[in-house]
Amino acid sequence: MKYLIILGLVVLAWCPWLQADEAMNIIDARVAQMREKSPDLCAMFINRDSIRKVPFGYTEKVSYDCAITDVKYGVLQSTNVVFITFYKGILGMPNKTVAKQGF
């Protein structure tokens, strides 16, 4: 029984059903979905060269820059490492928005 559990963990860590192209498509779709839901979302850039296979999924760098949409109050560019899990979920996705300033 314990060998089946170990084998199961090895298969999940390897996750052969998730390829790099599909992981990038998942991030692209999530960014598009976030932009559709929130027009105040900061500009987001996906570093295509940063995708890496890691145990239980992939990582990819996603940068955001609020200074593009809000020059005065925007956050300068920053980068998050996003984890795409073996079950095609996303952990660590930045969701910065431009602050609304009251006058």
8 A C-beta contact, residue 60 and residue 27: yes
pLDDT of residue 84: 94
Report the distance separating Cα 47 and Cα 27, nearest Å: 11
Q: Report whether pLDDT(67) > 90.
A: no
pTM of the model: 0.77
Q: Report whether pLDDT(37) > 90.
A: no
Q: How far apart are the first and last CA of the chain?
A: 66
Q: Report whether pLDDT(45) > 50.
A: yes
Q: How confident is the model at residue 103 (pLDDT cuts 50, 70, 90)?
A: very low
Q: Report whether pLDDT(64) > 90.
A: no
Encode pLDDT of 69-99 as tens digits.
565 655 667 788 999 999 999 998 876 665 5
pLDDT of residue 44: 84
SS (H, E, C) the chain: CHHHHHHHHHHHHHCCCCCHHHHHHHHHHHHHHHHHHCCCECEEEEEEEEEEEECCEEEEEEEEECCCCCCCCCCCCEEEEEEEECCCCEECCCCCECCCCCC
Domain boundaries, the chain: 2-91
Average pLDDT, the chain: 83
